[in-house]
Amino acid sequence: MSYRAPVSEFRFLLDHVVGFQNVAETSRFAEATPETVDAVLTEAGKMCEDILAPLQRAGDLHPAGLENGVVRTSPGFDAGYRAIADGGWMAIAADPDYGGMGLPMAMVTAVNEMMSASCLSLQLAPLMSQGQIEALEHHASQTLKQLYLPKLISGEWVGTMNLTEPQAGSDVGALTTKAEPNGDGTYAISGQKIYISWADNDFTDNVCHLVLARLPDAVPGTKGISLFLVPKRIPNPDGSAGVTNSLKVVSLEHKMGLHGSPTAVMHYDGATGWLVGEENDGMRAMFTMMNNARLGVGVQGVGVAEGAYQHALAYAEGRKQGRTENNSITDHADVRRMLATMRAETFAARSIALACAVAIDMETATGHSDWATRAALLTPITKAFGTDIGIEVAQIGLQVHGGMGFVEETGAAQYSRDVRVTAIYEGTNGIQSMDLVGRKLMDRGEAAYRLIDEIQADAEAARTLHPDLGDPVWDACETLRETTEWMVENGTQDRFAGSVPYLRGFARVLGGHFHLKAARADPNGRHARLARFYIHRLLPEHIGLLAHARQGADDLFAITMDDLAA
């Protein structure tokens, strides 16, 4: 499929909307100059356009398969992966001491979006490695770091994340995988894991699995879970991949989409593993990887939205119908509405993701706790809103195609099938919303209020020159503040009952904020016109969403299961 990397859009957002200049001004990221950012994004964009995008359909039409215990990947994926690895795109933000570039997460986010837009099935492989690299950097012993990080960063080896078990699902604390000490500093890992993305491949020397397991006599629940690094092949003393470990791919899932990405059931039978972090502290270490992945998955949604939009726009411009100015369906009001919605929603979700990445970078550079809480607040919003928008934009893209959208040969349906799982994995979007109103408001809403204050101050400053844009954003922000106060003052069940519309309403206001900033930076250009569309037509949805969020749980649980019976 054809794809044009939106490098100029990333530059505009970094320069004028999400505050990336603050990152570049720190000593930690002083090398992230405008020239460096341009060079990195341009080269990554070329790779995505020329090498990855042509693999999109190949992965869908020729899925990964399992032959005699060996995973066979889709045609061309080996060359695509090698282009990612050889270009250094596996670990842009990784520690330079181990071969990484040490660049900001905001740049990683932009590159990940472009890879997701061009070929989401293949992009999942480096995304898993990125998360594992970060987890090892923060929690692994020096010995493990020196052995595994250079291999993962170079792309010689890839990483995975093994959390889910058949009986446990999202209740990670119910896992039963066992870890028995071998007496030599290693552990014997036994159990089964499901839904393991890129659990194996036929183009790297080794696959490194991060596995959650329970030590003997560990306490029940999440407090008794430890994290282990379990390689497919046990490294030799010289660091090369050695003998095969006692683990195997049992089967590959037959999925709705992402056919080029092998998703496996994994079985561990006394496999040799090494402890990462402290005993019974596995969830803390794994959450480092999961939070990285949640930002990454939100960006996957944005990437698919961009890809689906470009695909729909090209079709609409070439679809001749009716006697109109352009003699194409783009002159029909409803088609123009759909295209504008796709464009405006993608901009909003992209801005939120980049703002989250900037907060992570500022916390890394300054160590200031306010940036850490800002990143934590934005992470569930980025994940849930980014993936919801990916799904919705892909669906609109089908509608733009009309009947041809329902025909697989056009490729429009693939975006919808591929992106659908992003709202489910790495914590369902319902779990993200519960996290937002639960853990992220445990500070009595202080982090949320700081962000709301910033949005409202910016809207106030815009009122003089842009009252038609500043006033609605200020009013929406006030409603968000009142709803946040309601969330802080009410009980867990009431908060959870309204958590999904609250997160969506929060994202709606954030989208208005970033569109307003773009309009102020480009007052007579396309960003101002797009901002007017979003603020006048989409932002008003916050009223119903936040009213829903404040309803509490009583009426919800007054509905009995008999009422819901088929």
Q: How many helices (H) and strands (E) does the chain have?
A: 20, 11
- Distances in Å between the Cα of 485 and the Cα atoms of 146, 373, 444, 494, 553 are 48, 18, 9, 13, 17
Q: Residue 162: beta bridge partners?
A: 211
Contacts of 25 (CB under 8 A, 6+ apart): none
Q: Residue 197: beta bridge partners?
A: 263
- Distances in Å between the Cα of 16 and the Cα atoms of 358, 517, 560 are 13, 7, 51
Q: Residue 272: beta bridge partners?
A: 188
Give the integer Cα–Cα distance in Å for 82 and 95.
21
Evaluated on CA atoms 365, 367, 370, 375, the torsion sign reads: positive
What does the radius of gyration of the chain's CA atoms come to, in whole angstroms? 23
The tokens describing 452, both together, are: 């709301």
> In 367-465, where does DSSP find H-type helix?
369-401, 412-419, 429-437, 446-462
* 3-state class (DSSP) for residue 17: coil
* HSE-up of residue 275 (Cα within 13 Å, Cβ side): 20
Give the integer Cα–Cα distance in Å for 131 and 292.
6
Of 67, 317, 426, 541, catalytic:
426
Which is it for strands 187-197 and 206-213: parallel, antiparallel or unpaired? Answer: unpaired
Which is it for strands 241-244 and 233-235: parallel, antiparallel or unpaired? Answer: antiparallel
Evaluated on CA atoms 48, 24, 366, 454, the torsion sign reads: negative
* HSE-up of residue 137 (Cα within 13 Å, Cβ side): 22
Give the integer Cα–Cα distance in Å for 242 and 45.
36
Side chain identity, residue 347: F
Q: Which helix (H) or strand (E) holds 92?
A: none
Known catalytic residue at 113? no
> What percentage of the chain's residues is helix, strand, coil (to nearest 5)?
60, 10, 25
> Cβ distance 52 to 384 under 8 Å?
no
Give the integer Cα–Cα distance in Å for 290 and 183.
30
Q: Residue 213: beta bridge partners?
A: 226
Provide the residue count of the chain: 566
Query: Which residues are tagged catalytic?
Result: 426
